[in-house]
Amino acid sequence: MGKYTLIVTEKPEAARRIAQALDKEGEPEEFKRRGVPCLRAFREGELVVVPALGHLYTVVHERGGRNYYPVFSFEWAPRHLAERGAKQVKAWIEVFSEMAENADSFIDACDYDLEGSLIGYCVLKYACGGKEGLAKRMKYSTLTKRELEKAYAELLPGLDFGLIKAGETRHEVDWLYGINLSRALTLAAQRSSRRYTTLSTGRVQGPSLRFMVEREREIRCFVPAAYWDIGAEVEIGGSAYEVEYEREKLGRRAEADAVVRACEGKAGEIKEVELREFQERPPTPFDIGTLQTEAYRHFGYTPRQTLDIAQRLYLQALISYPRTSSQKLPPVIDYRVILSSLSRGRDYEDLAAELLKRAELTPHEGEKEDPAHPAVYPTGSLPEAALSGPERKVLDLVVRRFMAVFGDPAVRQSMRVSIEVNGHLFYLRGRRILKEGWMRFYGPYVSSDEVLLPPLRKGDTVRLRRVTRQDKFTKPPPRYNPSSLLKKMEDEGIGTKATRADIIQTLYDRGYIRGRSITVTGLGFDVTEVLSGHCPSVVSVELTRGLEEKMELIQNGGEKRENVLLEAVEQLRPVLEGLKEDEEAIGEALSEALRRARMEERIVGPCPDCGTGSLMIIYSRRTGKRFIGCTNYFKNACRTSFPLPQKGTVRPAQRECGACGWPQVEVRMMGRRPWILCFNPRCPRKEERRP
């Protein structure tokens, strides 16, 4: 093999696309080294494209060992030396080292962002033996042939060291926080209970959990207030229409009763008809946050799921790079080429053709910018293989949003009819769309709330068909869901577009939160209370936001990595000393929290027999077998018990049987799909199945 150019990519799929785009024939030679899929392409010279597997290197403690803190000395090391389950990384690093030996030039073709730049840098520096200074950089936002060829023709002369330093610092600061605080919590609990359970927190995890704890506290302490409103209907031309009373809330029941008495059976006179027309501008292009919010709203996908789906679509060259905070679509992406490609498919043929007829195409852009990438947009390429359902849905959302941003403003008309009934005013409201504009392109994703009213004139009389008092209660604030939490983190300026979804997932994985409509668990409460009590700065938004801002400055050369690291250590040192001093008290609180959490995990639901106890998964000390028993058994008050399968794992399903209303359990066994079991022996569904 002669000399060649070694191209480093972030993932195998990206390597394949790049090699295909750059090879003269479009058919690069695939070969495997130690199981790593590499590609050889020919252009002016030979190109060898080797993919990474995301991060191959990570931050580790220089000294090793797990059972102590504080730890402030670190280094970058191959992931397989630091993480269980990363064995395969060894082969990938060896392949890079081997392939670098015969290479005479190097190109970093990883994604152009904080993480991608760091991945490429680490490979070039550590695996390829100090080639980070020689390497050139490919910068692209889509994996289409056109853009990859352009990026190769216009290589940046060197790596983006500002971005790399910022990425490096972020990993190091997060490591310092994560390792020290998590060890402090875990060791305190372990020393107190003599039982190991991983407890974690971090620079962003702590404040994020605190948002939810604060909200949960408000919900759990909430006491509703009673209020009343008036429900009424008028009859116009034989049809009934809901009307609103002039006051939204009435504070006393007697007041509401008086209104009902005064209006019952009376006719109303139209006093005024107000018409208002307003324009609704098109939506702005998707940055990753708004894409995640819309995908949650329409399909119920969590931010993590949307990010994963978008990443897959990007690797198939169907959409542009999704981890972007930009809401801009620069003309350089060539709107017409994309629309022409979209018009070739059946689904968007008419809509794309309609836009192409226009002499000028100007997107309605948002405020947010990202120096590295434009907003998320479709490339116009057709899928090479069948897409999964979620992929199809997210792609459709991206395509329609892209077209909608070029649409005209929509024109809506609102109508308010004031009706007087015996001295009381009621409002009849109507809404309709006069001109669809961009809504036509966004189609199913437009919230249509049209209420069409018949023609009405001042002085007309209408009959009040129904008027009733409605007893209402104020509601607690809504719970966060993964999407609104992500938005909150974004608004508070903590985490990055690439890390927020993962942090939310970690909170679920650690058992601190559960459910789509997020509930904080007892463990989540206790961990936050321990941290707030002993080291409030760790859960404060201000501290993490301050660090975030400084890390961003590194990218532009406005701050030095060393200063930020020093600051992080200086902030952490007194916190960790405090935690060590209070270790006994913290340990006791956390062990108690873990004990309660383990109990909570085994509670199936209320006991249907005694009504006061809870059904719980219990392990017999005598036989080791498990069964469901009532907690009142221990007080000799209830002897209810039910058998359980003895194989696999059983846990509360957090739902009730549709037939008998009893709580259910979820059973998981190797090689079988998990199933939901109703353990009520007299469940009507079981009776039905009996021969």
Partner 1 sequence: MKCRVCDREAAGAYCDRHERAYQNLRERYEAWKQALDVSWKEYLAEVAQNENTGTWAKEVAEALLSRDES
Catalytic residues, which ones?
321
User: Does position 434 bind partner 1 by CB under 8 A?
Assistant: no
User: Does position 611 bind partner 1 by CB under 8 A?
Assistant: no
- Name the maximum alpha-carbon separation found in the chain: 97
Stretches 166-174, 216-224, 311-319, 483-491: which one binds partner 1 (CB under 8 A)? Answer: 216-224
User: Does position 225 bind partner 1 by CB under 8 A?
Assistant: yes
Task: Quote the least distance from Cβ 321 to partner 1, whole Å.
Answer: 43
Residue closer to partner 1 by CB (options 216, 396) is 216
Task: Quote the least distance from Cβ 95 to partner 1, whole Å.
Answer: 55
Task: Quote the least distance from Cβ 525 to partner 1, whole Å.
Answer: 8
Which of 220, 625, 639, 668 lies at the binding interface for partner 1 (CB under 8 A)? 220
Task: Quote the least distance from Cβ 221 to partner 1, whole Å.
Answer: 4
Give yes or no for a contact between 669 and 648, defined as CB atoms under 8 angstroms apart: yes
Task: Quote the least distance from Cβ 300 to partner 1, whole Å.
Answer: 24
Residue closer to partner 1 by CB (options 74, 525) is 525
User: Does position 253 bind partner 1 by CB under 8 A?
Assistant: yes
User: Does position 226 bind partner 1 by CB under 8 A?
Assistant: yes
Give yes or no for a contact between 26 and 43, defined as CB atoms under 8 angstroms apart: no
Residue closer to partner 1 by CB (options 219, 411) is 219
N-to-C CA span, the chain: 74
User: Does position 251 bind partner 1 by CB under 8 A?
Assistant: yes
Which residues inside 469-528 make contact with partner 1, applying CB under 8 A? 473-476, 525
Q: Is the dihedral of CA 382, 386, 387, 393 positive or negative?
A: positive
Instruction: Please tell me the number of Cα atoms within 13 Å of 219 on its side-chain side.
Output: 14
In single-letter form, the type of residue at position 104 comes to D
Give yes or no for a contact between 405 and 437, defined as CB atoms under 8 angstroms apart: no
CA distance 434 to 564: 55
- Total Cβ atoms within 10 A of residue 469: 18
Task: Quote the least distance from Cβ 442 to partner 1, whole Å.
Answer: 35
Residue closer to partner 1 by CB (options 472, 626) is 472
- Among 485, 513, 521, 518, smallest CA distance to 500 is for 485
Residue closer to partner 1 by CB (options 60, 520) is 520
User: Does position 227 bind partner 1 by CB under 8 A?
Assistant: yes
Stretches 146-154, 249-257, 434-442, 478-486: which one binds partner 1 (CB under 8 A)? Answer: 249-257
Q: Is 284 helix (H, G, I), strand (E, B) or coil?
A: coil
Which residues inside 455-474 make contact with partner 1, applying CB under 8 A? 473-474
| 59: CB partners within 8 A, 6+ apart | 74, 75, 76, 77, 171, 172, 175
Three-class SS string for 313-335?
Answer: HHHCCCECCCCCCCCCCCHHHCH
User: Does position 222 bind partner 1 by CB under 8 A?
Assistant: yes
Q: Are strands 410-421 and 239-245 parallel, antiparallel or unpaired?
A: unpaired
Give yes or no for a contact between 107 and 155, defined as CB atoms under 8 angstroms apart: yes
CA distance 403 to 398: 9
User: Does position 262 bind partner 1 by CB under 8 A?
Assistant: no
Residue closer to partner 1 by CB (options 220, 573) is 220
In single-letter form, the type of residue at position 568 comes to A
Stretches 15-23, 92-100, 138-146, 246-254: which one binds partner 1 (CB under 8 A)? Answer: 246-254
User: Does position 670 bind partner 1 by CB under 8 A?
Assistant: no
% helix, strand, coil for the chain, step of 5: 40, 25, 35
By CB under 8 A, how many residues form the interface with partner 1? 19
Q: Which token pair is 528?
A: 């936050």
Task: Quote the least distance from Cβ 666 to partner 1, whole Å.
Answer: 24
Q: Which residues bind partner 1 (CB under 8 A)?
A: 217-227, 251-253, 473-476, 525
